[in-house]
Structure 1
Amino acid sequence: MVSASTVHINLWGRDDECDAIRRLLDWDSGGALLFHGPPGSGRTTLLTYARRVAGERTLLTGAGLADEAALPYAGLHRLLDPVLDADAALPVRQRRLLRRVLGGGGCPADQRLALAAAVRSLLAAAAERRPLLCTVDDLDTGDRQSACTLAVVARRLRRLPVALLLTTTSPTAVDGVPAHRLRPLHVRECQAMLAGRRDPPPAPVARALAALSSGSPQALADLADTLTPAQWRGEEPLPDTPPVDGALAAAYRARLDRLPAPTRRMVLLAALDPHDDPGTLVRAAWAGGLTVEALAPAEAAGLLRTGPHGVTFPDPLARPMITAVAPLADLRAAHLLLAGTLAGGPLGRALRHATDADCPADVLAAELAVAVDRAPDRAAAAVALRRAAELTADPARVAELTVAAARCAWTAGDPDQARELLRRLAPGPTVRGPADLVRGDMQLRCDAPAAAVATLLAAADAVAPTDRRSALLALVRAGEAICVTGDHYRYAEVARRAEALRRPGDPPEVDLLATFAVGVGATLRGDHARGGPALRRVVVLGGRLAGSAATPAALACAAAAALLVGVDGPAHRLADRAVEVARSSGEVSLLPRALELRAVAEYWLGRHEAAAETARQGVRTARAAGQHVCAQVHLGILAVLAAVRADRVGALARIAEIGDGAAPGSRPDAYARWALGVLDLIDGRYADAVARLAALARARTGRGQVLVQVMATPYLVEAAAHEGGRPAAALTVFDHWASSTASPSRRALAARCRALLAPRGGPEAEQEFRAALRLHPADTDRFERARTELLFGRELRRRRRPRDARAHLHRAREAFTLLGATAWAERAGEELRAAGESVGPGRPGPEQLLTGQQLHIARLVAQGATNREIATRMSLSTRTVDHHLRNVFHRLGVRSRTELARLLP
Structure 2
Amino acid sequence: MLIGRAAERAAIEGLLTRAGDSDGGVLLLRGEAGAGKSTLLARAAQVEGFRVLQATGVEAESELAYATVHQLFHPLLPLLEQVPAPQADAVRVALGMDAAGRTPDRFLVALGFLSLVSEAARERPLLLVLDDLQWCDRASVDAVLFLGRRLTAEPVAMLLAVRDEPGAGAGDVVVAPGFPELVLGGLEDAEVADLVAGAAVARPSDEVASLLAGRTHGNPLALLELAGDLGIEQLTGKRPLPDTLPVGDRLGRTFLDRSAGLSPAADDLLLLAAAAEVGEVDLLVRAAEPADPAAAVAELEATGLVSLRADRLTFTHPLARSAVLGAATTVRRVDAHRRLADALASRGEHDRALWHRAAAALGPDEELADALEDLARRSGARSGQGAASAAYERAAALSTTSEVRTRRLLDAAEAAWQSGDPARARTLGDRAEAGAARAGSRARLLHLRARAASRRGEVRVAHDLLLKAAALLREDQPGAAMEMYAEAVEGAAYAGDLDRVAAVSEAAVGLGPGTTTREEFLVSWLAVGNAGLRGRLASDAALLERVLALGERLEDPRLLVWAGISALNLGDVPAMQGFYRRALDVARADGAVASLPYALEHASMSQALAGSYASARAAAEEGLRLAVETEQQRSASMLLAILAFLAATTGDEEEGTRYAEDARAIAAPLGLGLPTAMALWATARLDLTAGRYDAAVDRLLTLAGASPEVGHPMVTTWTTPDLVEAAVRAGRQDEVLAGVDRLVQLAEATGRSGAAAAAAWCQGMLGGPEAVERLTMAIEVFRLAPLPLAEARARLALGELLRRDRQPRLAREHLRAAVEGLRQLGARPWADRAAAELRASGESAPAPETNGLETLTPQELQIVRYVSQGSSNRTIAAQLFISPRTVEYHLYKAYPKLGVSSRTQLIGAFPAEPVLATSG
Name the TM tier (shorter chain): 0.5 to 0.7
Distance 1:553 1:821, change over 3 A: closer
Shift in alpha-carbon separation, 1:424–1:312, aligned structure 2, 3 A: farther
Please tell me whether the aligned partners of residues 552 and 590 of structure 1 are also in contact (alpha carbons under 8 angstroms). yes
In 2, the alpha carbon distance for the partners of 1:273 and 1:797 equals 74
Report if aligned partners of 2:386, 2:419 keep a CA contact under 8 Å in 1.
Answer: yes
Counterpart code for 2:32: A
Which residue, 608, 611, 621 being the options, matches 1:606? 611
The DSSP-based 3-state class of the residue aligned with 1:483 is: helix
Deviation at 1:804, TM superposition (A): 0.8
Distance 1:294 1:576, change over 3 A: closer
1:479 paired to 2:483: no
Count of residues in correspondence between the two structures: 621
CA distance in 2, matches of 1:633, 1:327: 28
Q: Structure 1, residues 244-282: CA drift from partner, whole Å, max 9, x if none? A: xxxx98736855687999988348899999999977732
In structure 1, the partner of 2:883 is none
What is the alpha-carbon distance in structure 2 between the residues aligned to residue 282 and residue 293 of structure 1?
12
2-structure distance, mates of 1:706, 1:312: 49
Deviation at 1:627, TM superposition (A): 0.8
Distance verdict in 2 for CA 1:679–1:555, change over 3 Å: same
Greater mean alpha carbon deviation, residues 894-903 or residues 579-588: 894-903
Q: State how far apart, in whole Å, the 2-side matches of 1:327 and 1:682 are.
A: 46
The SS at the match of 1:312 is strand
Q: Deviations over 1:850-876 (max 9, x none)?
A: xxxxx9x96898799xxxxxxxxxxxx
CA distance in 2, matches of 1:424, 1:330: 30
Q: State how far apart, in whole Å, the 2-side matches of 1:533 and 1:669 are.
A: 35
Contact 1:568 1:604 in 2 (8 A): no
Gaps of 5+ in 1: 1-142, 148-165, 176-213, 217-247, 335-347, 850-854, 865-884
Corresponding residue for residue 198 of structure 1: none
- The Cα shift of 1:772 comes to 1.1
Counterpart of 1:31?
none
My pick for the range that moved more, 477-486 or 370-379, is 370-379
Residue 797 of structure 1 aligns to which amino acid in structure 2?
A: R
Q: Is 1:835 the counterpart of 2:841 in the alignment?
A: yes
CA separation of 1:730/1:707 partners in 2, compared to 1, >3 Å: closer, same or farther? same
User: Matches of 2:806 and 2:539 in 1, distance apart?
Assistant: 46
Sort the Cα spacing of 1:385 and 1:612 in 2 relative to 1 into closer, same or farther, 3 A: farther
Taking the TM superposition and a 5 Å limit, the aligned residue runs for 1:227-626 are 251=32, 254=35, 265-266=56-57, 281-283=72-74, 295=129, 312-313=158-159, 324-325=170-171, 354-355=354-355, 357=357, 360-368=367-375, 371=378, 382=389, 385=392, 389=396, 392-411=399-418, 413-427=420-434, 428-430=436-438, 431-500=441-510, 502-504=511-513, 506-524=515-533, 526-529=535-538, 534-543=543-552, 545-546=553-554, 550-584=555-589, 588-626=593-631
Please tell me whether residue 696 in structure 1 is matched to residue 703 in structure 2: yes
TM-score by length of 2: 0.57
Shift of 1:402: 3.1
Task: Give the structure 1 partner of residue 712 of structure 2.
Answer: 705
AA aligned opposite 2:437: P
Q: Which range moves more in the overlay, 578-587 or 480-489? A: 578-587
Q: CA contact under 8 A between 1:786 and 1:812: conserved in structure 2? A: yes
Whole-Å separation in 1 of the counterparts to 2:61 and 2:75:
10
Shift of 1:525: 5.1
Q: Distance in 2 between matches of 1:361 and 1:806?
A: 83
CA distance 1:563–1:416, shift in 2 (3 Å) = farther
| 2:470 and 2:481 in contact (8 A); partners too | yes
Report if the CA contact (8 A) 1:525-1:702 is conserved.
no
Partner-residue secondary structure (3-state), 1:838: coil
Residue pair 1:365, 1:391 contacting (<8 A) in 2 also = no
Distance 2:581 2:390 in 1: 30
Q: Tell me how far apart the structure 1 counterparts of residues 598 and 13 of structure 2 sit (CA, whole Å).
A: 49
How big is the shift at 1:612? 1.9
Q: For residues 387 and 284 of structure 1, what CA distance do their matches in structure 2 show?
A: 33
The within-5 A match list for 1:71-82 is none
What is the letter of the counterpart of residue 265 of structure 1?
Answer: T
- Contact 1:599-1:610 within 8 A present in 2 as well: yes
- Deviation, 1:894, is 9.1
Which residue, 638, 647, 663 being the options, matches 1:642? 647
Q: Per-residue deviation at 1:464?
A: 2.5
Distance 1:266-1:513 versus aligned 2 partners, 3 A rule: same
After TM superposition, give the deviation of residue 676 of structure 1 in Å: 0.8
2:811 counterpart residue number:
805
For residues 696 and 294 of structure 1, do their structure 2 counterparts lie closer, same or farther at Cα, with a shift above 3 Å needed?
closer
Structure 1 residues 532 and 260 mapped into 2: Cα distance closer, same or farther (>3 Å)?
same
Q: After TM superposition, give the deviation of residue 705 of structure 1 in Å.
A: 0.5
Give the match for residue 82 of structure 2: none
Name structure 2 gaps, 5 residues minimum: 15-25, 43-52, 78-94, 97-125, 134-140, 175-272, 279-347, 359-364, 864-890, 907-913
CA drift of 1:771 comes to 0.8
The corresponding residue for 1:103 is none
TM-superposed deviation, 1:672: 0.8
Q: Which amino acid aligns with 1:638?
A: L
Distance in 1 of aligned mates of 2:274 and 2:528: 51
1:769 aligns with 2:550: no
1:757 Cα deviation after fit: 2.1
SS at match of 1:594: helix
Aligned to 1:130: none
Instruction: Work out whether residues 162 and 171 of structure 2, in 8 Å CA contact, stay in contact via their aligned partners in 1.
Output: no
Match of 1:676 in 2: 683
Determine the C-alpha separation between the residues in 2 that align with 1:296 and 1:672.
Answer: 42
* Equivalent residue number for residue 10 of structure 2: 171
Which structure has more relative contact order (CA 8 Å, sep 6+)? It is 2
8 Å Cα contact 2:31/2:165 also seen in 1: no
* Structure 2 residue aligned with 1:735: 744
Q: Shift in Å at residue 794 of structure 1?
A: 1.1
- 1:34-63 Cα shifts (integer Å, max 9, x gaps): xxxxxxxxxxxxxxxxxxxxxxxxxxxxxx
Distance 2:277 2:761 in 1: 65
Shift of 1:739: 4.4
CA distances 1:114-156 after superposition (whole Å, capped 9, x unpaired)? xxxxxxxxxxxxxxxxxxxxxxxxxxxxx73x54xxxxxxxxx
CA-CA distance at 1:505 after TM superposition = 5.4
Cα deviation, residue 658, structure 1: 2.3
